Structure formats: C-alpha cells, structure tokens
Structure 1
Amino acid sequence: MPAPSSNIRRSAGARFWIGLVHLWLGLASGLVVFIVSLTGCLFCFQQEISAAWYHDVFFVPAAAGAQPLSALLRTAGDTLHTPVDYITTYRDPSRAWEFMSYKTNDTALTYFGNVERFRSVFIDPHTGRVTGFRDYKHDFFNVVKYIHWNLLLRDPIGQPIVGWSTLIFVVLLVTGLVLWWPRRWTRAARRAPAPRRWTRAARRQAFTIQWRAHKRRLNYDLHNVLGFYTLLVALVLGLTGMTFAFQWFYRAVGAIGGAPAAALVDTSGGAPRSLDAAFAHIRDTYTGASRIGLSPPSGSTLYLSAYDGRETYYNRADVTIDFRNGRMSTTPFARRTPGDKLVNMNYDIHVGAIGGLPGKIIAFLVSLVCASLPITGFLYWWWRRVPPGRRPRSSRLRR
C-alpha cells in the first residue's frame, strides 16, 4: 500500500515542523506565560479573600437610610487630604462605601513609580464614620494584578510583552492540539492497514495520566493530557486577555454586530442638577442595581454606572448628567450591540466571575494548568536532549 505509507510520512513531516514551531515559541514565551498564568490564578478569588480579611473595613452594622452623598464626599476628602476620583456605593445596607483617590506619573518606568497614589477610605453611609483605609498601591492582590497586566512596567512597555506572549500562547494551544492528536487517528492512518484505533490502550494513552509511570512519561502526560482537557477554557482566557493588550483586537471584537447603539438622550431638561439629587434619582430608577459607581462631577458633568451584578461589571447602565441644562443620556446594557456587550463582558469572562463561584473555580484551575505547561514542556524538551541510548526505555514516548 504505497499511497497510504506516503501520506503517513508527509503527515509525520508536517507534525515535525509544527512541533518545531511549538518548541521554539514555547521556549521564547514560556517565562512570561508562566508569570501571567500564575498571577491570574492568584487573582481569581481576590474579592472573597479581601472581603474576609478586611471584614471590619468593608462591612458595617445594617441600618436604614444614608447620609447625603455630598457630606460623605467631604468627609472622604478631608480624611484622604487628596481629591476623590471615584466612589462606589452599595445597595446592601451592611456595606461601607468606598471613596478612592488615584494619581499616576506617566513618565515613570515601573509600576511603583507610575502609581503616585492609589488609596481608598471606607465610610459607614449611615453614620459617616470612617471604617478604615486601603493602600492599593502596595496591596498584595493589586501588585499581583499589575504583574499580570504589565509585568510591573509602564503600559507602553509591559503590555506589548504580555500581549504578544498571550498571542503566542494561543498559537501554542492550537499547535499543541495537533501534536496531541494521535497519529493512528489521522486520515492517512485510517486508510493504512493499522491496528484498531479505539483500543483501550489508545484511549488510555490519549485521555489519562499514567501516575505510576516513569517521571518522563508522567511529565509528558501532565503536559499533553492536561493541556487537552483545559484547551477550550485556556483559549477563552487567552483571547480575552488579548482584548486588553491590543487595541486592534479590542476594536475587532467590538465591531461584531455593528456600531454601538446610540445612548437614550432625555432633552427635556428635567434631570437633577446636583450631586445628591442625581444620585438619589439613579438609586430610585435602578432599584435592581447592587451598586452604583460614579466619578465626582467634572465641571458640570456627572458620570454614573448602575451595576446589576453583585461582583460583575458587564451588566450595567451608564448615565451622564449635565447639570447646566438638565440633559441626561443613558446607555442600558440591553441596548448594546452584540460586540459592545462582548467587550463589556470581557473582564468578567477573563476572571471567571461571569459564571459565579463555579466560573472562578474553573478559571483558577485552568490558570494553574496553564502555569504548569511551560514547566512540563521545558522538562520534556530538556530530557529529550539526552542521547536516545542513555534514556530509559520507559521514557521513549511513542504515540
């Protein structure tokens, strides 16, 4: 049967070149992929851990009513001795409200030089009592996030490194699937007089980890089998990460489904014209919102976001109020185009929050596997550098 034999040889040649691409791309990006995956794994449960660790800061005795937001804002400014840049309020009466102050230095090279201040004060909305402070600049999870985001470098330097490494990782996942695919399942092999393809041994080799095998065989299985099982979720994590890193990819995702829908504009001039009145209006309008975030008025314009999800950011309504003429524009989540919705969901998909606690657990486990792949891949390459005659027979891996 000369034809099938020729096809099999060509298939093996293609696998050789794909394997070579997989090897050198893996060696080039492995360290960054390991760092980004490990920090992503650590960041998955930061909200739950922070809420437990800083419970006395984040939570207050539940009570009815709240002091005027403007009064709480003055208290926060006097306490921080710096302008407040963002406010997060909660519908839950047992949550303290957060007043954040943030300033950057865009000429610095590293994260610690780039972030001049990044701290928050938390205030009991019922009594006006300060419950505590957070210095996010030196906070463990925030440092982990910025290692993940830009390797603690300025965005123009660090983000391209992370972005291109993530793109390479996506390519590695695809080429890894090709290399994982057993030769006996290829079309050429099916036409050749080969043994049965779906034998128990074949399934065991492709889908299970041989925990009692030689360390080289075990390492091989940890790389190939775990890589196969986590492939789809790892691809989602990689592609959503690329949306942060590359503007061209962000625009391409946003272009799905057409241009963003126009905001609903109320031109009657009847919108509230003060901070307290505007905040009360939004709370009464979006009764299902678990939290409302806003920036203190910039000139005469107030920007607010009402979030429906308890920990997610995508399902929100963005509101802009002009105090000068009483005009208000609103962009609810339901009016967004599919691409706009996908862009807004990107962060929540990336961290697994869109699936609640199960989604975070999946993101955590897959990120952990992704962090292991550069290690097991490097060990597999390193051990294969030993001359074949010196390798134990059990370590000669054949598919």
Structure 2
Amino acid sequence: MRSLLVIVHRWAGLFIAAFLFVAGLTGAVISWDHELDEWLNPDLFEAKLGGPPLPPLELVARFEAANPQARVTYFPLSYEPGKTAGLFIQPRVNPATGRLFELNYNQAYLEPATGEVRGKRYWGQISLDRRDILPFLYKLHYSMHVPDFLGFDGWGIWLMGIVGIVWMFDCFVGLWLTFPQSKRGATSAIAISSPHREKSWLSRWAPAWRIKKNASAYRMNFDVHRAFGLWTWLFLLILAFTSISMNLGDEVVRPALSKVFSLTPDVGESRTPAPIDKPISPQLSFASVLNIAAAEAAKRSWQEPLGSTFYNQQTGIYSVSFFEAGEEHGSGGMEPKTLYFDGKTGVMLGDSIPWAGTAADIFMQLQFPLHSGRIAGLPGRILLSLMGLVVAVLSLTGIVIWFKKRLVRLKRIEHGNAAVGATGAGYVHVLTPGSYRFIGSLGDENALRLRLSELGEKAALLSITRGALPLGRIALLSGESSFLFVVAIIVGVRRMLYRGGRLSMGTGMLFRSVGTVLFSRNFWQAGMLDASYYVRHVRLRVMRAKG
C-alpha cells in the first residue's frame, strides 16, 4: 500500500506543483489586493474634486451618454469620503453587426462630484503595468489566465477547481506517508531480552515534525517539505477545499452537499448562462430595480443603506446589496445582505443574508472568508499570506525531491548497464501460471525461440534484465506469431542497447509506437497481465484485459 501511495503522491504532486506554486505566491499578495491597488494607483482611487456627490444613477447616466458603446453593469450606491466611484463596464451589442463592440477597458473611475473620468483599465488583462498588476495577479490566482473560447470564460476556473480536488486528496496521501512504517516479522529473541522498551508509534512519528540540523541540502529540503506539510496540514486542507468550493461550487460542491444536507438553491442555479458574446439585455432599468429593492428592504426593517448594484448579463439577474460605504466585504469577509431580481419582470428571485439559512447555507457562505482569512480579521489575513508562501515552498521542495530521486534512478540504471558492459548480455525470465523461471540470455536467440515455443500459451509475462537491474517486461500474446514477434523485440532491444544501455529518444519513441500498435492487435483476446517495458526514457504499458 505504501509504495502505491508514494506513486500517487509523486504524480499528483507533480500535476499540481506548478499551479500551486503560482497560486501560493499570488495568494500571499492578493490577501492585500485592495490596499496595494490603492497604494499603487492613487490617481484611480483618490478623488481630487470637492463638493457634494452626484446621485449614483446620474453618474452612470452621464458616463453611458459619453460612452454609448459601453453598459455599466456595476456601480456603488454610496461613496467613501475622498474616494472615486469605481464602475464595471461591459460592451453593448452593435446593432449593425450583432456582435459586441470592442472596448479596451472594463473598469472606469469617476469623480463623484462631477462624473469626470479619472482613469480606465481592463481588469484582469495580462499586464505588469502598475495599473494592471493587482487585477492580473488576482485573476492568475484563480484561473491561470486560461483564455475564453467556445463562448465560455470559465475554463481556467474549472482547471484550478480540478487542481483543488487533486490537492485535497493529496493532503491525505501526504499525511499518511509521514506515518512511521509498521514493523514486519516476528520479534527476535534478542529484541525480547533487550532491556530497552520498543518506541511508541508517536515517538517514531515525532522526527517527521522536525527539521534535522546540520543535514545535507537534500535532507534539509526533504525535512522542510515534510515538516511544513505536517505543521500546516489543517490550513492546507482548508485552502484546498475552499478552492474547490469557489471554483466548482455549482458544478461539484453544492450538488454533493445538497444530497446530504438541506441547501437553499442558488438564485441562478436553474438558469443556463448565455454565451459571453450574446449577453442578455435587461428590460428593467437600474432605477426601477432599486426602487423595488428599497421597498423590500423597508418591509424587512433592514437598517443598512443601499450599497451597490450589479446586473449579470449571462443570467439576466439584478443583485442589490446593502452595506455602509466601504463595508462591501461585510463582517469577517461574509457577503452583505443582498436581494436578487429578474431583469425582465422585476420579480424578486431570492436573497442572501449572512449567518442565516440552513447549516449548509452558512457553510457555503464561509468559503470565501475561510479562504481569504478575513474570517479572523487582520491576523487571519496575515496567516493566509504566510500560508501562500508555505504552499509555494511545499511545491518547490516537492519538485526538488522528485528531481533528485529521478537522477538517482537514472544513475543506477547507467551503473548497472556499465557493469555488464557492451556485450549485450542479459537475462530473460518468463512468468507462467505456476512459476517464474529463467529461460535464457539475450545473446542466445535460438535457445530463446525454442523455449518460448515450448511454453506455448502458458507464458504470460516476459521479463528482461541486465546485470541486477530490470530493463523491462513485455506481455506475451497467444499464438505462434506473437512469440516470434516477442523474440524480434528481444533481438531489437539487444541491438539498440549500446555502451551503458543508452537508447536515443527518437528511436525509443518509434519503438514504443510500433510496439503499441502491434500489441493492441490482439489485446482484448490475449488476457494480458499488467506489464511494462522500460528502456531508460521509454515505457510501454500494457494493461490486463479481464474476462
């Protein structure tokens, strides 16, 4: 079991390492995205003109009148003192072509007193300019900037959600591998008579939590990987799960959770999102929706003022949030009170109230506060920044461990082949239903041909070795022609191995391709065992066909 888990941990880690390295470093930065963005771009966020602010709807109307190709989809309904009003913009459909207008921005920052545009930018574009660096890092964190195609803009989000699933599973695998191995065999008489008591399981596990001093660079790297993973394991698991919830919430987490617990359906759950190039135009204006929202909030005796509003062009749903200016993240990172309305009829579709609903509803509300650390305030954000660095360190040290072990394996193969020399000598064993026996050497082709034909269909697996090291295994097919083919492969292996057993990558790839085609001819009828042929860089795997 342990050897299998080592392989799982190795390949799962290699799959997610690069993604988590980037996500960890960017996560450490974007824990402070608002503060850093405002520090880098005071020209966008700081208002320069005094005077009473314009009503939000008038501010939006002035901007859209000056930019008829743009539609404002988000804007604040109250302003922080000394701050600009940040709007989110989407292109309208060109009536002449039926396609979206091309805009080089999706955010605009306006002076609240006059509506003057202080600046524009395209949130999330790939750019290291000071105006774009924080949005670039934020989008990189959760989507790796995978481009939109086929009318869908969530491929990168899905990718990072899959990475989160593998990461969460690998958390448990990695934890298991830190446990001390169980002792095999019976206790010897010497051990029984020893005055020293056998160490407890916890005592044997304790070294995994420590970093050995004055160790080699490789051992230090290994200890950092293992100890950091243990000390921060719970936080790593939380980050992994919350990343799944936020990237694959509607696709995976909510459906799974609703099977076990009572979960209020999401407002847009029953709607199929429109393609990004074919947005749904609202039939009700922002003004109408805000009037309906204000009346509904008054019925509920909500004390919070109107905070912001957003129109989702893919689902045709308005959302209106209620909070004091500057408190859009609510308490502990929880979303503020929000009402949802149909963009065509104005019918209220639902609400979202922090810390309200079923246990499953509150659990889903907690995903962003947990992932961002905001649930614990300033200390939580500091902790999450440090955890981002830990994730990057674990990814890097894991790659170093794999690379070092791979070099060792390759050196062992070269050393074993060099010990045999360039004579082409090798050994062939055959696994039959009742035995595993030596049948000849690579240099004795005639004897091999004879012995293979004598074994007939009983031979299931052929193993080739040079020196003390296995070079590979080849599954045998039934039928005389199959045995002759295997002999031909053996001869080819012997001739292609030269001076230390090196095999050119090009020749190896050709050999693997040809072998795969020929083996697959009788694959389902042969009932082959799981086997592999390995010559340095090339591995041909043949899976057993049951039945």
Q: TM-score, normalised by structure 1?
A: 0.72
Deviation at 1:175, TM superposition (A): 0.9
Match of 1:173 among 146, 171, 174: 171
Match of 2:397 among 376, 382, 385: 376
> Residues 125-171 of structure 1, C-alpha deviation per residue, up to 9 Å, x if partnerless?
34444443333143222222332333222345433432222211112
Q: Which amino acid aligns with 1:356?
A: G
Name the % identity: 21
Matched, 1:252 2:256: yes
Give the structure 1 partner of residue 336 of structure 2. 316
Give the structure 2 partner of residue 152 of structure 1. 145
Give the structure 2 partner of residue 241 of structure 1. 243
Deviation at 1:44, TM superposition (A): 2.0
> Residues 38-60 of structure 1, C-alpha deviation per residue, up to 9 Å, x if partnerless?
33333222111012222343233
Distance in 1 between residues matched to 2:347 and 2:15, nearest whole Å:
54
Distance 1:151-1:301 versus aligned 2 partners, 3 A rule = closer
> Conserved in 1, the CA contact under 8 Å of 2:56 and 2:78?
no
Match of 1:84 among 47, 50, 72: 72
Q: Which runs of 5+ in 1 are unaligned?
A: 1-13, 106-114, 264-271, 392-399
Distance in 1 between residues matched to 2:65 and 2:366, nearest whole Å:
36
> Residues 197-239 of structure 1, C-alpha deviation per residue, up to 9 Å, x if partnerless?
4898974x23232353210111011100001112111111111
Match of 2:38 among 51, 61, 64: 51
Give the structure 1 partner of residue 199 of structure 2. 196
Distance 1:293-1:224 versus aligned 2 partners, 3 A rule = same
Match of 1:220 among 201, 219, 222: 222
Distance 1:275-1:38 versus aligned 2 partners, 3 A rule = same
> Residues 255-305 of structure 1, C-alpha deviation per residue, up to 9 Å, x if partnerless?
664142899xxxxxxxx974675687689865446943334999x985311
Residues 169-178 or 38-47, more deviating: 38-47
Distance 1:61-1:249 versus aligned 2 partners, 3 A rule = same
> Conserved in 2, the CA contact under 8 Å of 1:352 and 1:360?
yes
SS for the counterpart of 1:83 is strand
Distance in 2 between residues matched to 1:382 and 1:297, nearest whole Å:
47
Matched, 1:294 2:341: no
SS for the counterpart of 2:112 is coil
> Conserved in 1, the CA contact under 8 Å of 2:289 and 2:346?
no
Distance 1:373-1:260 versus aligned 2 partners, 3 A rule = same
Distance 1:366-1:289 versus aligned 2 partners, 3 A rule = farther
Matched, 1:140 2:143: no
Matched, 1:331 2:351: yes
Q: 1 or 2 for the larger relative contact order (CA 8 Å, sep ≥6)?
A: 1
Q: How many residues align?
A: 355
Match of 1:366 among 380, 387, 394: 387
> Residues 9-33 of structure 1, C-alpha deviation per residue, up to 9 Å, x if partnerless?
xxxxx32222122112222332233
> Conserved in 2, the CA contact under 8 Å of 1:69 and 1:275?
no
Distance 1:217-1:208 versus aligned 2 partners, 3 A rule = same
Distance in 1 between residues matched to 2:90 and 2:313, nearest whole Å:
16
Pairwise CA RMSD: 4.2
Q: TM-score, normalised by structure 2?
A: 0.55
> Residues 84-127 of structure 1, C-alpha deviation per residue, up to 9 Å, x if partnerless?
1111244533332222103599xxxxxxxxx9654222223344
Matched, 1:162 2:160: yes
Give the structure 1 partner of residue 492 of structure 2. none
Give the structure 2 partner of residue 21 of structure 1. 8
Give the structure 2 partner of residue 394 of structure 1. none
Q: Which runs of 5+ in 2 are unaligned?
A: 94-101, 126-131, 268-285, 413-547
Q: Which amino acid aligns with 1:151?
A: M
SS for the counterpart of 1:84 is strand
Q: Which amino acid aligns with 2:338?
A: D
Give the structure 2 partner of residue 11 of structure 1. none
Match of 1:31 among 9, 18, 24: 18
> Residues 169-193 of structure 1, C-alpha deviation per residue, up to 9 Å, x if partnerless?
112111111111234799x99xx97
Q: Which amino acid aligns with 2:145?
A: L
> Residues 315-352 of structure 1, C-alpha deviation per residue, up to 9 Å, x if partnerless?
32222468999876762515432322332332332222
> Conserved in 1, the CA contact under 8 Å of 2:294 and 2:306?
no
Residues 88-97 or 316-325, more deviating: 316-325
Give the structure 2 partner of residue 208 of structure 1. 210
Q: Which amino acid aligns with 1:100?
A: F
